[in-house]
Structure 1
């Protein structure tokens, strides 16, 4: 009997690219032939944090990679299974000795999955090598030296994709597909949600750097232009269509010829900000379902299904909130300021547990990145202790950020025919005014489900008092000692 060919596997997760992919480099460096693998895992597909929009984005990313890989007579093996079961089937045809992937800072369920895979590899004499992901370092106990480590990582040369005829061929992968439940990669042709893929990622990046970044920092909070002035790169970073280092290098390369270095530096500083939050989650995974500041574990809120459903569907009776939620549900996108506002509304004014809001928002944000998501939700909920407490006024924000009400008109068409002076607060219209505009508040559009002023006052009183709680203050010191990066410059000119 002929000995089975030795094969190295690259297990793709949130690194759906071939350039600057250390896992692929490590696999190719074994000298063995290499299989690129993506497993659509049932436990993740069923996880409440994910939605079909995420799986479609991944499928689009794989299809795009397959188009690129066709030049090398190869493609990704995409299957519906579990990772260990997939490797077991591959062992029927090949001798699997090496598995490569990045270190995933993900949900607790993926961490438990990884521990099982580690045991599986140990029991089956498979060496599993995980590489650093985007400058997030495992095993750190505090942030001493983190800024310089991250900067050094970003400044390393990008990894080129040089397969050297080591990839399994299209025919060989077609033969493998016969023993698997192969994933159907078809997705809707038309969708308001950003499409996945390296090609799309690079298009957005090129457009942003060439045409948009000059106005980014000045306009990103204004709703009517935020979609055009924000980079919209976050989904591609979250799912790894390109690495943070690739974007960092692209910004660094354009900086010498830029006449707006300040704006460009502001953008690159947010790449460090992104890594900062993911590093925090890596070091304190309980943030997924518990307030990082343990003093806020004493804060108990009653769950209102009525309030939560109204918020989710955009039927709260507060036009700015409803427009944001409907936009988010349909497009998967909302700018940073409006994300903060809808979380503040949910946790402060509706007085609902941030955990419930975090789960729903993870489903609808196409750029859901666990390491950023839970930290941000807790921060906007006012339960970190170390961040400034801000309770947003959605009516005031509506007037300031959507002064002509164009955003509200688009996403809350029931109100589109109203004059601007009524559209932000339609519940203040008199019965005569409602008759004049042929609308009845509470029927065609809901009355506000809460008293904004009273609920704001309640939340402010409780949360400001809690900031002075002994345990909250003690936890502040612990959090700062563990997670506050030491001072250091991230100016890319350095």
Structure 2
């Protein structure tokens, strides 16, 4: 194929899940080139499909892109938007303007994104255009978990952040109009408390977390309400790349060191716990890359050895779960929280999925896909890595089936989380709010509750369903440990025990004063 180009030195920076100008290796590489830089974002219809994405995620993306465009305009450039299959977009740009090189970060997305990337690679090879893929901060390029991964990850986190360019050369390529979610068939998605997108909001969330809201994050046995209250609100920004993992880690490390000097060991350990969450997120991405390299495909969940029922469109059990009508208060409160906020404590998300796979005996694929669409912070590699470890989905969990009532007593002992999201049950006592069907009729009448009318009856007898599930799991279960894992362990939410190499070797002192940490310097 022959291309007639008006110029031949255009450096394209292809933004994907890295919507920032700070600590951006691919942007720095494009800026170091000899020609003008074209910041490009492509709305690929094969990626934004109702089957795998949602309007709430799309709206967060638009806000993040608007913030990115503002940052580019302050530097003399602007964001160029295109809609269509990525390979066709690049072909058209090259035909009319000439492309010297394409710069991008590696993306660990779904099968559709893997297919898109392969199509772009094939086109670039045929057109003779260098496609320069950078490894994003926090992901050692050649490391595997068997080859000193921790040391390489620590080294990557400690490297100096890449400064944003002061100025970018202007381009004269017109941008297309901003699309709407409806353009891709994404239905209206009411999410009143959805996180706000954009780097500016991400930086504010990080500063609040380091300034005090994260004080209790590392404490053990937090209730669901307490966990939601001290959550930093950074997962969506990490998923869309408005902040890099290295920026967050270095901000935490700086505040952690200052807190240890001030003697505030409680807050310091909470920050260390979130640093461990960042590390685990990188491990999940690395694991996904390894799975892809072996199979050549990116199927996040393994095949189901139990031959469970596929939850097709209109499945009554799945619909009841998604619309908070299971009759189990903690499950229904979790679904309402997820629908209205776009985020959920990973322990609760794991409990929902284990319930569908065990008590409802549904194939994990469709429930996981539905819940993923509701999560604004959905990152395929991280999300499905956690799903693979859950009881009812991971074979090595044995025949353990989480009890939704027992988990409710553990994760929401005072019932505050249930009362917030299920106000119709608010008048029930702490003793009975976790299992309304066991409440005396007098208490139900006094609270104005009619089971089956004002609040659903439980959809299954959870004890009988668990016994049935255990009998089915047992023949295929790999019993590596007789101890029952908790849902906290199943969600990979372990208490943090810092590695020797992770933090400065300062001894934690007891009885710390409650002093404010030093504020980090983080660029907007």
TM-score after normalising by structure 1: 0.87
1:183 counterpart (171, 179, 185): 179
Per-residue deviation at 1:19? 0.2
Alignment deviations for residues 248-299 of structure 1 (CA, whole Å, 9 cap, x no partner): 111122222113233322221221111111111111136964654xxx7431
Distance 2:228 2:300 in 1: 32
Identify if the C-alpha distance between structure 1 residues 182 and 234 changes in structure 2 by more than 3 Å, giving closer, same or farther: closer
**In structure 2, do the counterparts of structure 1 residues 239 and 165 end up closer, same or farther at CA, with 3 Å as the change threshold?**
closer
Note the alpha carbon deviations across 1:78-112, whole angstroms, 9 max, x for none: 23222222223323542212101111111011111
Shift of 1:189: 12
Residue 453 (structure 2) aligns with: 443
**Corresponding residue for 1:493?**
504
Q: Deviations over 1:360-393 (max 9, x none)?
A: 1110111111111112112114443455775322
**Match of residue 279, structure 1, among 257, 271, 286:** 286
1:266 matched residue in structure 2: 273
Partner of residue 403 from structure 2, selected from 393, 399, 409: 393
2:32 — aligned with what? 29
Q: Which whole-Å deviations, capped at 9, do the CAs of 1:372-423 have from their partners, x for residues lacking one?
A: 1112112114443455775322222223333332322222233234344432
Who is 1:482 aligned against? none
Distance 1:229 1:198, change over 3 A: same
Aligned ranges 1:412-431 → 2 under 5 Å: 412-431=422-441
Where do residues 336-485 of structure 1 align in structure 2 (5 Å cutoff)? 336-386=346-396, 390-468=400-478
Query: Shift in Å at residue 123 of structure 1?
Result: 1.4
**Is the alpha carbon distance of 1:182 and 1:224 closer, same or farther for their aligned partners in structure 2, counting shifts above 3 Å?**
closer
Tell me how far apart the structure 1 counterparts of residues 242 and 5 of structure 2 sit (CA, whole Å).
39
Comparing 195-204 with 134-143, greater Cα deviation is found at: 134-143
Q: Which moved more, 1:187-196 or 1:25-34?
A: 187-196
Root mean square deviation of aligned Cα: 2.9
2:52–2:369: 8 Å Cα contact kept in structure 1? Answer: yes
Distance (whole Å) between structure 1 residues aligned to residue 80 and residue 398 of structure 2: 47
Aligned to 1:329: 339
User: Which residue is equivalent to 1:231?
Assistant: 232
Using the TM superposition, give the Cα deviation of residue 461 of structure 1 relative to its aligned residue in structure 2, in angstroms. Answer: 3.7
Q: Where do residues 29-48 of structure 1 align in structure 2 (5 Å cutoff)?
A: 29-48=32-51
- Cα distance change, pair 329–288 in 1 and its aligned pair in 2 (3 A): farther
Q: Distance in 2 between matches of 1:288 and 1:356?
A: 16
Instruction: Answer whether contact 2:300 2:385 (CA < 8 A) is retained.
Output: no
Query: What is the rounded CA distance, in whole Å, between the counterparts of 1:25 and 1:345 in structure 2?
Result: 46
Structure 1 residues 189 and 72: CA distance shift in structure 2, 3 A? farther
Structure 2 counterpart SS, 1:351: coil
Residues 210-237 of structure 1: per-residue CA shift (max 9 Å, x gap): 1123211116841222222122211111
Distance 1:153 1:273, change over 3 A: same
Asked if the contact 1:8/1:99 (under 8 Å) is kept, the reply is yes
Inter-CA distance 47–149: structure 2 relative to 1 (3 Å threshold) = farther
Evaluate the alpha carbon distance shift between residue 386 and residue 151 of structure 1 in structure 2; reply closer, same or farther with a 3 A threshold.
farther
- Are residues 1:299 and 2:300 paired? no
Note the residue ranges of structure 2 that are not aligned, 5 or more in a row: 183-187, 481-497, 506-524
1:240 corresponds to 2:241? yes
| Equivalent residues, number | 468
Decide which moves more: 418-427 or 274-283. 418-427
Answer yes or no: is 1:83 the counterpart of 2:86: yes
The answer as to whether partners of 1:220 and 1:229 remain within 8 angstroms in 2 is no
CA distance in 2, matches of 1:308, 1:18: 41
Q: Structure 1: any 5+ residue segments left out of the alignment?
A: 471-486
Structure 2 CA distance for partners of 1:2 and 1:279, relative to 1, 3 Å: closer
Which secondary structure does the structure 1 equivalent of 2:197 belong to? coil
Distance 2:307 2:253 in 1: 47
Counterpart Cα distance in 2 of 1:441 and 1:189: 27
Tell me, what secondary structure is at the counterpart of 1:344?
Answer: helix
Q: CA deviation at 1:436?
A: 3.9
User: SS at 1:271's partner residue?
Assistant: helix
Residue in structure 1 matched with residue 511 of structure 2 by the alignment: none
More deviation, 387-396/158-167: 387-396
